[in-house]
Amino acid sequence: MRRIRITVAYDGTDFHGWQIQPDLPTIQGALQNAVSEIEGRPVQVDGSGRTDAGVHALAQVAAFSIANPIPTPNLKKALNRLLPPAIRVLSAEEAAPDFHPRRHARSKTYEYRIFRGEVCSPFERQYVLHHPYPLDTDRIIEAAAVFAGEHDFTAFAASDVSDAEGRSKVRTIFSTVARVEEDRLIYRVRGNGFLKHMVRNLVGTLLECGKGNLTPDDIRRLLVPGCGVKAGPTAPARGLFLVEVEY
């Protein structure tokens, strides 16, 4: 058996997220179908983490084990032939037998794209949040920096992530930068891990800052569990891209 590590780009628009679900198109499901077809038996594909329905990836990392003797350099082409065009394998290489894309990940980088112009191009409509309303971008840039460091992100976890799971909600954010690029506001965040919906909740909270409903000080309070401040709403999936996973 060889352990194969692949880097995968996908347009998440038409998928019900990464995680396999019966009778629904998912990224993991499509990859498992393709790998299983090559291997001639069901094969599990592990990812670096789940992405929500509608979230995109420029470079998700996944891995699987196969016995098929197909040369590793040919695997990329073979998989792309079997996958829908919305999912593309960018590279395939042999990895250590115990390589696990989630457990071994040291950091992940996400980017969220907001288009602020009046009319959103039809060709970008599924890849940005269109927000043609006033925003105090200086305040967003200031607020984004507040997330840096090790914090308890309970206030930014999806409400269905129960505390009973007992899993720590402490994460370390290595970099967190909002920037303005012409008609766009782009937020990029790199951390050692992210809770369910966390990036979209960070963005929703930054937008509340930009609208004047929250201050950077409110954000500091949000990073202390039980503070009583409410985070912003979950920003739509379509503006979010998983851009890099580091090992």
Binding site for a second copy (CB under 8 A): 9-11, 56, 76, 80, 85-90, 119-123, 125, 127, 130
| 11 counts as catalytic | no
**Which of residues 91 and 172 has its CB atom nearest to a second copy in the complex?**
91
Q: How far apart are CB 161 and a second copy at their closest, in Å?
A: 29
Apex 64 CA angle, 7 and 19, nearest 5: 75
Which of 52, 98, 152, 163 is an active site residue? Answer: 52
**Which of residues 42 and 122 has its CB atom nearest to a second copy in the complex?**
122
Cβ atoms < 10 Å from Cβ of 123: 7
Q: How far apart are CB 79 and a second copy at their closest, in Å?
A: 11
Task: List the one residue out of 46, 65, 57 whose CA is nearest residue 17.
Answer: 57
Cβ atoms < 10 Å from Cβ of 58: 15
Q: How far apart are CB 167 and a second copy at their closest, in Å?
A: 32
Q: How far apart are CB 117 and a second copy at their closest, in Å?
A: 11
Structure tokens at 226: 């039980």
Q: How far apart are CB 193 and a second copy at their closest, in Å?
A: 25
Alpha-carbon Rg of the chain, whole angstroms?
A: 19
Place of tokens 């129960």: 162
**Which of residues 1 and 119 has its CB atom nearest to a second copy in the complex?**
119
Cβ atoms < 10 Å from Cβ of 81: 10
Alpha-carbon distance 206 to 199, whole Å? 10
Structure tokens at 61: 């990392």
Alpha-carbon distance 174 to 244, whole Å? 13
6 contact partners, CB below 8 Å, separation of at least 6: 31, 61, 62, 63, 64, 75, 76, 79, 89, 90, 91, 92, 93
**Which of residues 124 and 163 has its CB atom nearest to a second copy in the complex?**
124
**Residues designated catalytic:** 52
